Chains A and B, each alone.
Chain A
């Protein structure tokens, strides 16, 4: 029988947890509800409507920024994942110093505040008279996203069993084929997770895009950032709902891929041990 004070304490903890969960979901719910709210002042509920979504989708400016965001995220993903695979394979065969150097440069790229790294890039591009645009944004996005991707792929590489490659080599497969038929398939879950994370981070990024886009390029988060400084309209809430759908899908797929490859279970198992 659990003592009374303990049950009471658990009840208290349960209460706090529920309040915190409400606190976490309240803003998300507000955006979703108001995206369907017929009342344009957002003060009261005026019934369900889909017209804000229609308005957002038919707005050429919104469509353009959606295309820009997608282009940037796709390019960032491709470059970041390529860098990550190379770096992780290097890391596996590198000596102690090589590993330490790679690890610290990876960590540094994420640890510094984004404002500082983005501004540093901004200053460099200005100094070199490079016109800001889609490519400068991609350079900035790859800078920190390749670090996240490297960490994900590296974790998988560290767990890779060399005997499979040795077996393939013993059976006469040339190195290139060993890589393509053995190593790459074994790495693919991590590569998928890294790609999904990178795409989502890039698609959702505000700070780096804001400082490196110049005047001609606008991403969807930049568009939202600009719009909400005046007023939150139902149309903004419709765009916001769309962006949330993209990011939620990206991260959920990444989590599912991670779980399917056993990574999450291992993490939780390690936490339990």
Chain B
């Protein structure tokens, strides 16, 4: 082949390569198109709204660039309800952890078949409809139900089991427990059994071996489980709406009410932006804490 022919071929090759790389970039377009249009732009509008003002008479939003809404968040009325809602989601996460730990540990101790059966048994409820699983607690806790009648005879509750903080917490724990148990189980499973035996051989009684050896090593699983439960629990809307009977408000409901009932978009946006900031800080803090344990996250 002559050199002239080779030289003539060069641009075609280059063009081909450029064409292929362009086609490759084009593959990313649908994902970015949807992310920008239906995720980033709406959130951007929300952020801008949070600095805007609302006309009390016409309910029209105009932009005056004010931080008043963020200052308002500090008002006693809002501050208290935000703290109460955060308390509830942290309490529910903690309850999830307390309930999930023994279950995950027990499953991790089993042999193959029973291990699989128990794992599947924990996951399957998660596969049934979220909304049905949530309202189902009305069936279980309503005044006429066997459980409620038992509670009244024992004298456990006089006001009823439904439509209060406890019912909401039960709903959250029941819905999110699999999200806690699975990472915990993986965390336990990753621990070398020899370490547990070593602790026992060195004379540590069972409880101390668990507390000093097993639990610290399972930290990545605990962190992942708490994150997986705490983040959706903080923004929960459906569970408090159904089981709280309109009395129990969580952050998700407080935000949604501003938009759907009150109609104060700027203040609602400020609330939504704050909850996002809060969760981001929370996630980053936990990530930093877990990496300082010298263990990588399991999620």
Contacts and interface: CB of A to CB of B under 8 A. Distances in A.
Contacts of B206: 5-6, 9
Interface stretch (B76-84, B150-158, B228-236): B228-236
B234 to A, nearest CB: 7
A106 B135 CA distance: 31
A121 B235 contact: no
**Which residue, B129, B205, B255, has most C-beta atoms of chain A within 10 A?**
B129
Interface string B45-64: 11001000000000000000
A173 interface: no
B231 A111 contact: yes
A211 B144 CA distance: 33
B27 A115 contact: no
A248 B127 contact: yes
A82 B231 contact: no
A25 B178 CA distance: 12
B276 A116 contact: yes
Contacts of A12: 102
Chain B interface residue number, banded: 35 or more
Contacts of B125: 24-25, 28
Contacts of B204: none
A106 B205 CA distance: 46
Contact of B129 (A6, A16, A247): A247
Contacts of A23: 174
B295 interface: no
A271 interface: yes
B223 to A, nearest CB: 15
A123 B45 contact: yes
Given A34-B139, A43-B144, A237-B139, A113 B234 contact: yes
A243 interface: yes
B68 to A, nearest CB: 19
Interface residues of A, number: 84
B140 A30 contact: yes
Interface string B258-299: 011000010011001001100100010000000000000000
Interface in A216-262: 221, 224-225, 228-229, 232, 236-237, 240-241, 243-244, 246-248, 250-252, 255
Given A41-B144, A83-B30, A115-B235, A204 B38 contact: no
Contacts of B102: 12-13, 16-17
B279 A27 contact: no
Interface stretch (A47-55, A60-68, A87-95, A159-167): A87-95
Given A42-B145, A113-B275, A146-B31, A232 B99 contact: no
A102 B39 CA distance: 14
B279 A113 contact: yes
Contact of A109 (B35, B103, B121, B140): B35
A244 B32 CA distance: 34
Contacts, number: 228
B190 interface: yes
B9 interface: no
Contacts of A247: 127-129
A169 interface: no
Contacts of B29: 86
A84 B174 CA distance: 31
B185, B237, B260, most chain A CB atoms within 10 A: B237
B198 interface: no
A271 to B, nearest CB: 4
Contacts of B177: 20, 24
A251 B109 CA distance: 27
Nearest to B37: A139
Contacts of A108: 35, 39
A93 B21 CA distance: 9
B272 A119 contact: yes
Interface of B: 24-25, 27-32, 34-35, 38-39, 41-43, 45-46, 49, 99, 102-103, 105-107, 109, 118, 121-122, 124-133, 135-140, 142, 144-145, 174, 177, 185-186, 189-190, 205-206, 231-232, 234-238, 241-242, 252, 255-256, 259-260, 265, 268-269, 272, 275-276, 279, 283
